[in-house]
Amino acid sequence: MHTERLGHYEVELSARQFIHNGGWAAFAAIHGRREEHDGHEGHAERAAVFPEQRVAGETVFASEAAAIAGARKAALAMLGQPGAINPPR
């Protein structure tokens, strides 16, 4: 699993290999970062704004790296679409 910080979001990218054909599926999850003011400096809680799920349609990728790249592309597209996800509060 790969985690990237994009603005106010943390994006988790992963790939899973199919047993039956050896191809790879792309998965992504997007979390907003919400600061908690409970007296602990730097304490943050992640709020899921897009739960982990398969992205890039029914595409079967040839490698894990290609599936991660496909997941990143799908996550960036979701972040760029107004109303696709709710911004963190």
Question: 59, 26 in Cβ contact below 8 A?
Answer: yes
Residues 15-71 have pLDDT tens digits of 999 999 999 999 999 998 765 444 454 445 667 889 999 998 899 999 999 999 999
Residue bearing the bigger pLDDT, 11 or 44? 11
CATH number at residue 46: 3.30.160
Specify the pLDDT at position 39: 47
Residue 86 lies in a domain: no
Which residue range forms the structural domain that includes residue 42? 2-80
Q: Which sign does the torsion angle of CA 82, 83, 84, 86 carry? A: positive
Residue 76 lies in a domain: yes
Question: 54, 68 in Cβ contact below 8 A?
Answer: no
Residue 12 lies in a domain: yes
